[in-house]
Amino acid sequence: MTLPEGPPIRLGALDPQFSREIKKLAGTDFHACLQCRSCSGGCPFSDHMDYMPNGVMRLVQLGLKQEALSCNTIWICVGCHTCSIQCPMAIDIPGVMDALREKALAENIEAIEPDILAFHREVLHSIARYGRTHKLEIMLRYKLKKRDLFSDLDVGLRMLAKRKLDLSPSRITDLEAIEKVFRP
């Protein structure tokens, strides 16, 4: 089996402080990475990524800040953990992706996949409001912002017909607990 490969990593400005910061934010030691590439071989979204997940581990090991924060991999990753359950070193790879997204936003680095960021924001908005995701509202808000209400209409109608989308949201009772999570 041929494992997917990303672009070659070119050594630029190395920032060890960045590497330490991401390690702390992610709570996992990516320096233990062996570059076995099991993560990239199993990732269901690797075809859409520029750097493969193992490549991102190398970027953060080396402290290649600009490359790590501006690659599309950190936005394409859906946090499914398929990679981390196969990792022989038990590295929390999606945790690293999450830390990199957080850092990219904190540093106002333009998301290379703005639609994905917009979708994340709608999901968070729904959780902040109801304590749960209300998928129909998430999709409608997202589509409205994109000014593209009709492109997936057939899929939406089929989901509604199969009762996969609730018309009204369900709320958790303890919304105060959710409020605390979102408090800065």
Q: Counting contacts by CB under 6 A, is residue 36 touching ligand SF4?
A: yes
Q: Which two tokens stand for residue 138?
A: 């998430």
Amino acid at position 31, single letter: H
DSSP 28: S
Nearer residue to ligand SF4 within complex by CB, 41 or 156: 41
CA separation for the pair 64, 51 (Å, rounded) = 13
Candidates 10-18, 34-42, 112-120, 176-184: pick the segment binding ligand SF4 (CB under 6 A).
34-42
> What are the CA-CA distances from residue 133 to residues 23, 31, 126, 128, 154 (Å)?
30, 35, 5, 9, 21
Does the CA dihedral 180-170-80-141 come out positive or negative? negative
Residue 184 CB, nearest approach to ligand SF4 (Å): 27
Determine, following the binding rule CB under 6 A, whether residue 38 of this chain makes contact with ligand SF4: yes
- Examine residue 39 and tell whether it contacts ligand SF4 (CB under 6 A): yes
Report 56-75 residues binding ligand SF4 (CB under 6 A).
57
Question: Whole-number minimum distance, CB 33 to ligand SF4, in Å?
Answer: 3
Q: How many residues sit close enough to ligand SF4 to count as binding (CB under 6 A)?
A: 27
- Judged by CB under 6 A, the residue of 54, 68, 75, 136 near ligand SF4 is 54
Closest to ligand SF4 by CB, 88 vs 114, is 88
Of the two residues 22 and 136, which places its CB atom closer to ligand SF4 in the complex?
A: 22
Q: Is 35 in the site for ligand SF4 (CB under 6 A)?
A: yes
Tokens of 120: 């994340």
DSSP assignment letter at 88: T
**What are the distances in angstroms from CA 61 to CA 32, 49, 57, 112, 178?**
9, 19, 6, 22, 34
* Tokens describing residue 89: 């070193």
Nearer to ligand SF4, 79 or 144 (CB): 79
Residue 29 engages ligand SF4 in binding (rule: CB under 6 A): no
CA distance 164 to 135: 9
**For binding to ligand SF4 (CB under 6 A), which residues are involved?**
33-39, 43, 45, 53-54, 57, 77-83, 86-89, 91, 93-94, 97
